[in-house]
């Protein structure tokens, strides 16, 4: 028996050693050659990359270097910022893990007066004040690419060592600051940066316009500020509508501005461009104040040659739009100066955060967009498309004939006469989501004719062209002899965001907003709201009794110059009663607060018992039950 027991012990020890060695070897092998398996157990799957983001990462064929700048030292007393930085860092780390070594991440703390701080500023990051000891807070992302080996060979000698090339940067883009208010679009913003870095060239956009948006070199006029802004970010091609028969597929976004009497060939080209997946933005206007054409002589009779429309395509897309209607909104009217007086113009609107779609990446960060004599869109009863508003009026708006607005140009206050708000939010700009069918079935036999678009094809509709003009969003100042543009509204940002969003790949467009990572204690919040209602009721009761007592005291106040001891005694009695009642109500308020705290503490105790006691106990019981059943089965199997 001793020899048999020793033999069993030796076998068990040997098996244990083999098991430990195997486990360590397996761990090293999987950590070195296999990606870690991840499980996202959050309610909204916050850490699971969307299919569009995964597609963008998988198509990155050149190494990308990302540097997350976050002021750790300056935010040591700001836990909300540190929590959001962890959220951003975890999102970036998830993307790095997905890239299989193509994306590299570095996290840097740009302490004051350091080279890292200078690098952050030089890369375009925008710090904010409010850190510990008054320090600035940097919280942004810088992405860069480096030339390939072929590019390096063209500029450097072939025998130059590789470490000499490490500091060479090809392209650099940045996210200036991670605003927690944009947390819903965190994944989109980072994915867009990756997509732009991986694209070797600027996206091409096309412009078709009956307005002088590109200026006139002969007359010495420069392009409108919004176009200058686009030219810095994109390759802009101006297309001639009169000669347009087909739109190049390489044009990623097409801006159609103020279309007036487009030829059939041009409309067919637009139709096929949209059906083929092209991104079209249509700007129409009931009254384009920047239209260079002189008003027709029949304008007094109701003829308006400053309007634009796209009737055939709109009807086919299921869009209801009338160039004979202008939206007025007295609650959003802009102040203008006319004949030395400041007037509110109800046809010139300043659309704020309540009128802008906070759930759309294009308008989520905008504060105000100014429009003038704008129209509105709606869907036809038989429409198969969806209209998703980007900008709309307030409910205190009404629609009036365009001619009435033209006639009131000298006295815009007259538009408020007989004003009747219609309690409706009129859509001024929107995404129109397909599917679309061709508006030209008679061309079905043409080679390459498309009859239907993909299900989620989009067209952007804007019922105003004046928002593109400089006067509604930017003013030019002279600085050291050079023109300096100073924006007072977000019109330019709106257009840039639109083109930026549409010029991305279909994968980028598919990335939608997410919920916040901050998980509120809903049960605790419900308890607090119930307590707040009780507090409000007690407060109102106290204020009511206080007012009644003051009124009673004023009635008991003796006349001036008189001394009435009975009245004074009655006053003292009233005051004493009031003080006693006030103490009683104060005690009730404290009781409500104590009850609230007791309920919250009880909820916390229950959660602690579940997490600390019940769950481990349940796991232990399951393990014991499994071990007991296994032991019992082994005993039965023994001979």
Q: How far apart are CA 167 and CA 560, in angstroms?
A: 90
For position 521, what pLDDT does the model report? 58
Residues 6+ apart with CB under 8 A from 57: 49, 95, 98, 99, 102, 103, 194
Q: How far apart are CA 171 and CA 56, in angstroms?
A: 18
Q: Residue 331 falls within a domain, yes or no?
A: no
For position 162, what pLDDT does the model report? 45
574 class by beta-carbon count within 10 Å (0-12 exposed, 13-18 middle, 19+ buried): middle
For position 518, what pLDDT does the model report? 52
- Domain range enclosing 438: 204-292+304-322+375-393+425-509
pLDDT in tens, 143-182: 998 765 554 444 444 344 444 444 455 778 899 999 888 8
Q: Residue 561 falls within a domain, yes or no?
A: no
For position 447, what pLDDT does the model report? 92
For position 33, what pLDDT does the model report? 53
Residues 248 and 317 in one domain: yes
Say how many C-beta atoms besides its own lie within 10 A of residue 218's C-beta.
Answer: 6
Half-sphere exposure of 304 (CA within 13 A, CB side): 23
Residues 533 and 473 in one domain: no
* Strand extents, DSSP E, 368-471: 369-372, 377-379, 386-392, 397-401, 427-433, 458-462
Residues 225 and 288 in one domain: yes
Q: Tell how far CA 515 is from the center of its chain.
A: 11
191 class by beta-carbon count within 10 Å (0-12 exposed, 13-18 middle, 19+ buried): buried
Q: Residue 125 falls within a domain, yes or no?
A: yes
User: What is this structure's pTM?
Assistant: 0.67
Would you state the structure tokens that stand for residue 567, as one six-digit string? Answer: 């009245």
Phi, psi of 425 (to 5 degrees): -90, 110
Last residue of a domain, one of 509, 535, 562: 509
280 class by beta-carbon count within 10 Å (0-12 exposed, 13-18 middle, 19+ buried): buried
Residues 454 and 599 in one domain: no
The CATH number that applies at residue 117 is 3.40.30.10
Residues 460 and 590 in one domain: no
For position 554, what pLDDT does the model report? 61
Q: How far apart are CA 387 and CA 319, in angstroms?
A: 9
Q: Residue 2 falls within a domain, yes or no?
A: no
H or E stretch at 335: strand 333-338
Residues 138 and 222 in one domain: no
**In terms of Cα–Cα distance, which of 92, 55, 109 is closest to 187?**
92
Residues 91 and 237 in one domain: no
CA–CA distances in Å: residue 1 to residues 4, 8, 541: 5, 10, 89
How many structural domains is the chain composed of? 3
Residues 316 and 449 in one domain: yes
pLDDT in tens, 445-493: 999 999 999 988 999 999 999 999 999 999 877 655 566 678 899 999 9
Residues 122 and 177 in one domain: yes
Residues 486 and 535 in one domain: no
Q: How far apart are CA 358 and CA 356, in angstroms?
A: 6
Q: How far apart are CA 360 and CA 185, in angstroms?
A: 9
Query: Can you list the residues of the chain whose pLDDT is less than 70?
Result: 1-6, 26-47, 147-169, 296-303, 478-484, 505-506, 508-510, 512-571, 574-575, 578-579, 581-583, 585-601, 603-604, 607, 637-639
Q: Residue 177 falls within a domain, yes or no?
A: yes
Q: Tell how far CA 324 is from the center of its chain.
A: 33
Residues 383 and 478 in one domain: yes
Residues 219 and 239 in one domain: yes
Which residues on adjacent β-strands are paired with residue 485?
Answer: 476
């Amino acid at each position: 028996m001793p020899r048999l027991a020793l033999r069993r012990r030796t076998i068990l020890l040997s098996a244990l050693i083999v098991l430990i060695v195997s486990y360590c070897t397996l761990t090293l092998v999987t950590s070195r050659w296999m990606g870690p398996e991840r499980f996202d157990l959050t309610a909204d799957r916050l850490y699971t990359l969307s299919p569009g983001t995964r597609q963008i990462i998988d198509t990155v064929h050149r190494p990308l270097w990302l540097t997350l700048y976050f002021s750790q030292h300056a935010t040591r007393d700001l836990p909300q910022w540190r929590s959001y930085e962890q959220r951003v860092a975890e999102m970036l780390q998830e993307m790095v893990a997905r890239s299989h070594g193509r994306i590299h991440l570095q996290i840097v703390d740009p302490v004051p007066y350091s080279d890292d701080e200078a690098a952050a500023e030089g890369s375009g990051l925008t710090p904010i004040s409010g850190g510990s000891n008054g320090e600035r807070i940097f919280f942004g992302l810088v992405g860069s690419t480096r030339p390939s080996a072929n590019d390096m060979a063209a500029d450097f000698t072939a025998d130059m060592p590789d470490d000499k090339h490490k500091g060479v940067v090809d392209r650099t883009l940045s996210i200036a600051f991670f605003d927690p208010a944009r947390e819903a679009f965190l994944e989109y913003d980072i994915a867009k940066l990756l997509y732009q870095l991986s694209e070797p060239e600027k996206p091409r956009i096309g412009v078709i316009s009956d307005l002088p948006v590109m200026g006139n070199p002969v007359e010495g006029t420069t392009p409108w500020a919004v176009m200058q802004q686009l030219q810095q970010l994109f390759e802009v091609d101006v297309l001639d509508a009169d000669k347009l028969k087909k739109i190049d597929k390489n044009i990623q976004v097409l801006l159609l501005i103020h279309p007036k009497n487009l030829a059939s060939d041009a409309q067919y080209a637009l139709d096929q461009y949209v059906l083929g997946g092209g991104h079209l933005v249509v700007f129409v206007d009931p009254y384009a104040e920047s239209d260079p054409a002189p008003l027709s002589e029949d304008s007094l009779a109701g003829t308006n040659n400053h309007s634009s429309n796209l009737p055939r395509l709109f009807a086919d897309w299921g869009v209801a739009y009338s160039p004979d209607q202008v939206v007025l909104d007295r609650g959003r009217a802009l102040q203008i100066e006319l004949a030395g007086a400041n007037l509110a113009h109800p046809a010139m609107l300043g659309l704020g955060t309540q009128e802008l779609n906070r759930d759309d990446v294009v308008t989520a960060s905008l504060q105000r967009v100014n429009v003038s004599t704008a129209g509105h869109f709606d869907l036809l009863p038989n429409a198969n498309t969806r209209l998703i508003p980007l900008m709309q009026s307030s409910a205190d708006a009404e629609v009036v004939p365009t001619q009435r607005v033209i006639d009131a140009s000298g006295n815009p206050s007259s538009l408020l006469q007989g004003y009747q708000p219609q309690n409706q939010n009129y859509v001024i700009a929107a995404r129109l989501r397909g599917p679309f069918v061709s508006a030209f079935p008679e061309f079905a036999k043409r080679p390459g004719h498309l009859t239907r678009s993909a299900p989620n094809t989009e067209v952007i509709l804007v019922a105003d062209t004046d928002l593109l003009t400089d006067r509604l969003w930017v003013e030019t100042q002279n600085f050291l002899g050079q023109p300096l543009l100073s924006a007072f509204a977000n019109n330019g940002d709106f257009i840039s965001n639109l083109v930026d969003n549409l010029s991305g790949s279909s994968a980028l467009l598919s990335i939608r907003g997410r919920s916040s990572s901050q998980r509120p204690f809903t049960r605790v919040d419900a308890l607090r709201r119930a307590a707040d209602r009780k507090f409000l009721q007690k407060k109102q009761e106290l204020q009511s009794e206080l007012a009644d007592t003051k009124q009673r005291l004023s009635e008991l106040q003796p006349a001036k110059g008189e001394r009435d001891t009975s009245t004074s005694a009655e006053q003292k009695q009233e005051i004493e009663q009031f003080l006693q009642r006030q103490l009683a109500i104060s005690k009730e308020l404290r009781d409500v607060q104590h009850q609230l705290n007791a309920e919250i503490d009880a909820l916390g105790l229950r959660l602690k018992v579940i997490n600390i006691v019940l769950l481990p106990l349940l796991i232990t019981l399951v393990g014991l039950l499994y071990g007991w059943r296994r032991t019992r089965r082994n005993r039965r199997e023994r001979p």
